[in-house]
Homo-oligomer: A and B are copies of this chain.
């Protein structure tokens, strides 16, 4: 787990539609976003569907979610706290997050 206290996040106005779509286009990243629907979680509480994913891969998934503006990732004691940037995303792209999160997975062809 990174110990950088303040990781960079895009401002609301900088959040790009295509970057958000890309961040949510990976099944593991989408699953992480869905875990945050009911509120923030510590990074250690976020589980990947594939438990064999290396820590470095998990870090990279988290970085894509953060730099796209989907997730806020803040220092919280010794760990990190993840939260969905719902208010920012709803303001930028009305209806998008709800449509994605409420959609059936439908990964017949991943």
Contacts and interface: CB of A to CB of B under 8 A. Distances in A.
A16 B17 CA distance: 19
A27 interface: yes
Interface residues of A, number: 32
Given A108-B14, A109-B14, A103 B93 contact: yes
B10 A109 contact: yes
Contacts of A102: 94-95
B93 A15 contact: no
Given A21-B25, A25-B22, A15 B106 contact: yes
A35 interface: no
Nearest to A11: B108
